[in-house]
Chains A and B, each alone.
Chain A
Amino acid sequence: MSLLLENIHKRFGQVHANNGITIEIEEGTLHGLLGENGAGKSTLMKVLSGFIDRDSGRVLLDGKELDLTTPRTAIGAGVGMLHQDPLVFLPISVVDNFLMGSPGSRLLNRAEGAAELRKISEPFGFNFDPEAPARTLTVGERQQLEIVRLLWLGAKVLILDEPTTGISEIQRVDLFATLRKLAEQGMIVIFVSHKLEEVEELCQRVTVMRQGQVVGEAELPTPAETLVEMMFGQIIAESDRPHVEYGEDVLALDAVTLKEGNLTVPDLSLSVARSEVIGLAGLEGSGQRTFLGGCTGLVPALSGSITIGGQGMAKRHYRDFMRHGVHYLPAGRLEEGLVEGLTITEHFILSGEDKSFFVDWDAARQGSQENIDHFSIKGFHDSTAESLSGGNQQRLLLAMMPPGLKLLLMEHPTRGLDIESADWVWTQILARRNEGTAIVFASADLDELLRYSDRILVFFNGRVIKEVDARCTTGEQLGYLIGGKEPE
């Protein structure tokens, strides 16, 4: 059994996301698809799994062309996709999630479904409570459920799209063991990632994509520099960490307990100085977001004291924190940061310092154009927020930040951005740092955390379990820590 993608093309308006992609994969192979954000990997996988239609090209399994018009026909053809955020139905039970969409008798037989679930899960060591609602499962467990479900439906090709974001090291090791077992049983596993080390660890062959095209294939093991050169078209040099002087303490937490929804983060004590960069590491929902919220007044502190620049801020409101020089950049650029339907100029007006009641549109447009030029935002002063690309949205958000901040809090500052935009973002952030702003940021990208942080706080299960010096920690150690384990 072999899978052949033949000359796949897909355009989105002007963007040629998939430009003549041809890949051949043998059965029982763990095949990596490597490329950085924006290379076209996701588009290709959406084509393969039936989510979007390709413009031209064929996909053949054992010489027979596959019908991939919808996800249903794709699964029927044996192609299953595991999304980065597994599409489970949160209020619905595990066994119902397992059964939904599968063919079978009109009346649901949950007992039978639970039995099937157990049967398939056993060899992999997965453990599910069929009655529990899916919202109680961790991301790793949701992935397991999806894999098991796709297996049950007869998948012969399994595509995993960036599966290791949001799971711990232990879960990642388990996942890789599962994938190896599947490959042994003859399944074709396509592992899509931008993380070189993981592809190197797991896969036997790798295809590298850049800007919509296949730029190379390699049999692993292969020297990393070769792969890096293929991914970026150049060798990326590791930048040196510059020396920076810290200032006085700007943020001080003393025995603070925060509560957000069901999550209680107890007993936080920390001091952050001017020009210090603190990284927050941990799995999704381990408390980093709550911590950031607590530092800016979005999440109330049940006890303890919070001071900003020496000023006690307990029980103060979000807007008070803003007034004291704290700025919060949320992860959802369009969901939480920008307002859909409003123009760039309107955003600058809203984030500006002007206290007047009336709006001077002429002056506003002028100032907006100045900002657009200064921050190289690809857009016009009357472009709406949603018409901008992710990178330009982030530029706009950074341009909207007031000057002279004491503390900058960020959630996933470079999520979903290509390397060029991500670099630019960090240049801006570090410029602020050099001016004396303290930076606290949460990220799922361990490389980013290690590269830019001075200290890293590791969150697990709603508490800070360890504080490490970023300079003397490796990625692997950090990976173990976010899973709650001491590194081996």
Chain B
Amino acid sequence: MILAATWSEIWSAWGDVFTTASLASMVAAAGPLIYATIGETITEKAGVINLSLEGSLMLSALAGFGTAFVADNVLIGFLAAAAVGAAIAALIAFASIELRLDQIAVGFVMTLLAIDLSDYLGNRFVGEAGPAVPAWPIPGLSDIPWIGEVLFDHNLSVYGSFVVVIVAYIFIYRTRRGLELQGIGERPEGAFARGVAVNRMRYFYTIVGGSLVGVAGAAFSLDQRLGWREGLTRNLGWIALAIVIFGGWHPIRVAIGAILFGFLQVVALQFQPVFPGVSQVLPTIPFPLMILALVIVYTDWFRRLGDRYPRLRGILAADPPSGIGVAFHPE
């Protein structure tokens, strides 16, 4: 009964996945997730785990929508959301660096607190229609057949996500400061010996990462999911954390992971009418697939891929920065 779909149904559903409209929506849907995952990648590359993403996304989505609604200005909404994300991240950094507390414990508490805060404060805005990021097809580029609609017929928020990935990659792997960032997370004593202000930089990068998470929240409430309701970004914070691991803390691979997740969701959506019996379960398939992906990433076989393809070693890396999660103290 469950698998009683005909081949033609399956084939046409699969084909529907790859229409330009579908792919375009996939690129747009991945946008907010890319902000969040790249932000967390930066934070973790610096050696700090911001576990609060599930809560940060929710609260900053609310902050973004709420301020944009009140001020009738999308940009202010994004700034407010970024500020909220940054504030939560700064608190975690402070608790770890100054108070020597466990980053995971503080992050977890912040998660639940931020979710409850967003529920409490968000009541006022449920069901309201607010400003949205205006569409902005890039003149010229958006007319290119197929690619034009998929990549260039979106808005600033989505284009921003492309930019963020590229900037993150260039910064981390091609600049002096980016190299120092790698050092801070990999071996803070070594970076300290090189004269890098480790803790100051950890604050900085945690806040930058947190701001990006905030922007992601706004990208949800002011663009992709327009509006506010309880559970607007449910589970996406946890998914983002998993994507960072799956992406090996490399911006390009992480972005691919985010897009892959969007792809899986589109597939699930297109196949819902084909397999009606399991329609409730399909959207949750990405989550156990995440576990599977994590299992694979840690196997010997995957690790040895880096040896077989040395040029790809950077992008195939699976290990976290060695100094992650542990506070650094010079004495």
Residues on A close to B: CB < 8 A? 51-52, 70-73, 75-76, 81, 83, 87-92, 96, 99-102, 104-108, 133
Contact = CB atoms under 8 A, between A and B. Distances in A.
Return the 4 tightest CB-CB contacts between A and B, nearest first: A101-B194, A72-B195, A87-B190, A89-B186
23 contacts: A51-B192, A51-B330, A70-B195, A71-B192, A71-B195, A72-B197, A83-B193, A87-B189, A87-B193, A88-B190, A89-B183, A89-B187, A89-B190, A92-B179, A100-B179, A100-B182, A101-B180, A101-B183, A101-B193, A101-B196, A107-B174, A108-B174, A108-B176
A91 B197 CA distance: 21
Contacts of A108: 174-176, 178-179
Contact of A106 (B175, B191, B319, B330): B175
- Most chain B CB neighbours (cut-off 10 Å) among A72, A75, A81: A72
Which of B176, B180, B187 gathers most chain A CB within 10 Å? B176
B175 to A, nearest CB: 6
A31 to B, nearest CB: 22
Contacts, number: 73
Contact of B177 (A71, A88, A89, A106): A106
Contact of B180 (A70, A83, A100, A107): A100
Contacts of B197: 70, 72
A106 B178 CA distance: 9
B248 to A, nearest CB: 11
Contacts of B191: 100-101
A51 B194 CA distance: 11
Nearest to A92: B182
Interface string B295-319: 0000000000000000001000101
Nearest to B310: A131
B186 A71 contact: no
A107 B174 CA distance: 6
B182 A75 contact: no
Contacts of B194: 71-72, 100-102
Interface in B158-200: 174-180, 182-183, 186-187, 189-197
Contacts of B317: 91
Contacts of B196: 72, 101
A20 B293 CA distance: 60
Given A87-B189, A91-B186, A107-B174, A101 B195 contact: yes
Interface of B: 174-180, 182-183, 186-187, 189-197, 313, 317, 319, 322, 330-331
A92 B177 CA distance: 14
Contacts of B187: 87, 89-90
Nearest to B188: A87
A89 B182 contact: yes
B176 A75 contact: no
Given A100-B191, A101-B196, A92 B186 contact: yes
A83 B183 CA distance: 17
Given A101-B194, A104-B176, A106-B177, A91 B183 contact: no
A51 B195 CA distance: 10
**Max count, chain B CB within 10 A of own CB: residue among A70, A87, A96:** A87
A81 B193 contact: yes
A290 B179 CA distance: 34
Contacts of A102: 176, 194
Contact of B175 (A75, A91, A107): A107
A52 B179 contact: no
A5 B331 CA distance: 21
Contact of B176 (A73, A87, A99): A99
Contacts of B330: 51-52
Contacts of B319: 91
Contacts of A89: 182-183, 186-187, 190
Contacts of A52: 330-331
Contacts of B178: 108
Contacts of B322: 90
A413 B178 CA distance: 41
B176 A106 contact: yes
Contacts of B189: 87
A49 B186 CA distance: 22
Most buried by A among B179, B192, B193, B330: B193
Contacts of A96: 179, 182
Nearest to A87: B190
A227 B182 CA distance: 45
A75 B177 CA distance: 18
A76 B174 CA distance: 25
Contacts of A51: 192-193, 330
Given A70-B197, A99-B179, A101-B195, 18 more contacts: A72-B195, A75-B195, A81-B193, A87-B187, A87-B190, A89-B183, A90-B186, A91-B186, A92-B179, A99-B176, A100-B180, A100-B182, A100-B183, A100-B191, A104-B176, A107-B175, A108-B175, A108-B178
A333 B61 CA distance: 49
A156 B183 CA distance: 25
Contacts of B183: 89, 92, 100-101
Contacts of B331: 52
Contacts of B176: 99, 102, 104-108
A155 B329 CA distance: 25
Contacts of A70: 195, 197
A100 B317 CA distance: 20
A75 B194 CA distance: 8
A101 B313 CA distance: 23
A104 B180 CA distance: 13
A72 B179 CA distance: 16
Contacts of B193: 51, 71, 81, 83, 87, 101
A91 to B, nearest CB: 7
A73 to B, nearest CB: 8
A126 to B, nearest CB: 20
B309 to A, nearest CB: 14
Contacts of B192: 51, 71
Contacts of B180: 100-101
A129 to B, nearest CB: 12
A224 B59 CA distance: 71
Contacts of A73: 195
Nearest to B187: A89
Most A C-beta atoms less than 10 A away, residue of B175, B190, B191, B197: B190
Most B Cβ at <10 Å: residue of A52, A73, A83, A91: A91
Contacts of A104: 176
A54 to B, nearest CB: 13
A72 B200 CA distance: 14
Contacts of A92: 179, 182-183, 186
Contacts of B177: 106
A293 to B, nearest CB: 19
A106 B171 CA distance: 10
A105 B319 CA distance: 29
Contacts of B182: 89, 92, 96, 100
Interface centre among B189, B192, B195, B330 (most CB of A within 10 A): B195
